[in-house]
Structure 1
Amino acid sequence: MTQYAKLKNKAKRAFIKRQYTQALTLLSLAHTFNTNSKESLQLNVLCALADMAIEHEEEARALFEYYHIISKKNEQEASEMLLSMIDNFDKNIYALNLAITRLEDIEVDKNDGILYADFETLAKKIGFKEAFEDLMFSSKIIFTNKSDFLIFMQNLVEYGFKDVAIHYFENIGDMLFFDKDFANLYQKILHKES
């Protein structure tokens, strides 16, 4: 038995014993003794399965069993098919993780505040002053465009929340003062106070 065959068999036994990192190490060594491209494909399959098993053990073990069944007919075809399946699994896991991340971001945004459009709907039902007072200490209002924020600031002044409007201006900093609409509104608020 060649050194390559010994390492490959040890790697398979390590995989069966759920020693996936050891299997990867043995398969890596087996690659150094391999000169056959057909056997290289088999090593790639075993490496991919061992790597997959570290995070997704059940799925990798099921594919390992499936591979042994289908590789008896045509090992080359079975290897290519299994590598494709593992690649698709990786892509699906990536897509799933991306979707979960997006959902978590939406959930964080939802928990961090209320969209201005939702605030506006609430203000139409119960009035601006009541809606703002209800949310003032419990939620942030999330603005997605300048015009909504400008309207909101004007409503703050109109409904008697001038101090809150000034506080917004002071906390936002210089970036609004470079905008003429906000600078004009700020000047109006200051003139009304004096």
Structure 2
Amino acid sequence: MKRLLKRAQMKFLGGSFDEALRDYGMVLNDNPLLSEAKVGVILSDLALESEDEAKALFDYYQVIKSSSDNADEIIDQLVESIYSSKSKIHEILFESFKEQAEYEDGIRYSDFLKHIQSRDGFREAFEDIMFSTRVVLTSKKEFMSFVTQLITNDFHSMALEYLDNTAPLFGNDQEVLALYTKLKNNENSL
């Protein structure tokens, strides 16, 4: 166990966060109460999204773990605070984007869905507007639905452009990352 814990720590310090997460997870599976493994899992997961913050917290944990009985709780609270702050920032950015979109030329996604019903489907409706009008997306749900339709209807480069342009808004959101995988799978099946 100590060797696996040490290996996980070395993987983390070396920047191999996926491998560190796996190793810390194996230690935690065998020793569910081991604080160092819990912190390792939390920080490895955070590092996949925010490497600098995770490394800073890792260094801080190394300093406080010998002097504090609840060092793992302190780190957990700090990570929770980081996620909460990022969530609020994403919310503010998305709200700002939503307000800006309302003032620019475009068709709301709800109106676009009605247009799809009046045509022979998504492809035809999108081809009607793709060069003259923007589709205004005001929620993550609309974004996910729209990009999924782009992928399904073989508008791969446009789907990729939407994903790449909105990546900062969603961070390491697993649902959004799954769209990249779906896009890659659809491109490979052509």
TM-score band w.r.t. shorter chain: 0.5 to 0.7
Matched letter for residue 55 of structure 1: E
Instruction: Give 2:28's aligned residue.
Output: 31
**Could you tell me which residue of structure 1 aligns to residue 14 of structure 2?**
17
Measure, in 1, the Cα distance between the counterparts of 2:72 and 2:101.
Answer: 43
Q: Which amino acid aligns with 2:51?
A: E
Deviations 1:2-36 (A, max 9, x none): xx21111110000000000000111111123216x
Name segments (4+ residues, structure 1) moved above 6 Å.
none
Measure, in 1, the Cα distance between the counterparts of 2:72 and 2:81.
14
Structure 2 CA distance, aligned partners of 1:70 and 1:16? Answer: 18
| 1:112, distance to aligned residue in structure 2 (A) | 2.8
In the alignment, the residues of structure 1 paired with residue 70 and residue 104 of structure 2 have an alpha-carbon distance, to the nearest angstrom, of 50
Amino acid at match of 2:93: I
**How well do the aligned residues superpose, as a CA RMSD in angstroms?**
1.7
Q: Which has the higher helix share?
A: 1
Query: Partner of 2:48: helix, strand, or coil?
Result: helix
Find the aligned partners of 1:31 and 1:92 in 2 and give their Cα distance: 27
- Distance in 2 (alpha carbons) for counterparts of 1:72 and 1:12: 16
Q: In the alignment, which residue of structure 2 is the partner of 1:66?
A: 60
Letter in 2 for 1:53: A
Counterpart amino acid of residue 17 in structure 1 = G
Matching residue's letter, 2:47: A
Q: Which of these residues, 87, 101, 110, is aligned with residue 103 of structure 2?
A: 110
Whole-Å separation in 2 of the counterparts to 1:48 and 1:32: 14
Q: Deviations over 1:162-185 (max 9, x none)?
A: xxxxxxxxxxxxxxxxxxxxxxxx
Q: Secondary structure at the match of 1:83?
A: helix
**Secondary structure at the counterpart of residue 73 of structure 1:** coil
Residue 43 of structure 1: how far off its partner (Å):
1.4
SS at match of 1:55: coil
Contact in 1 for aligned 2:61/2:75 (Cα 8 Å): yes
User: After the TM superposition, which residues 113-128 of structure 1 pair with which residues of structure 2 at under 5 Å, given as runs?
Assistant: none
The SS at the match of 2:66 is coil
Structure 2 residue 116 is matched with structure 1 residue 88? no
Q: Which residue of 2 is the match for residue 180 of structure 1?
A: none
Q: Do residues 6 (structure 1) and 3 (structure 2) align? A: yes
Partner of 1:136: none
Q: Distance in 2 between matches of 1:68 and 1:85?
A: 15
Partner of 1:54: 48
Residue 60 (structure 1) shift: 0.7
Give the TM-score normalised by the residue count of structure 2: 0.53
Cα shift readout 1:93-144 (whole Å, capped 9, x = no counterpart): 111111111111111112237xxxxxxxxxxxxxxxxxxxxxxxxxxxxxxx
TM-score, normalising length: structure 1:
0.52
- Indicate if the aligned counterparts of 2:17 and 2:44 stay in contact, CA closer than 8 A: yes
Which structure has more RCO (C-alpha within 8 Å, separation ≥ 6)?
2
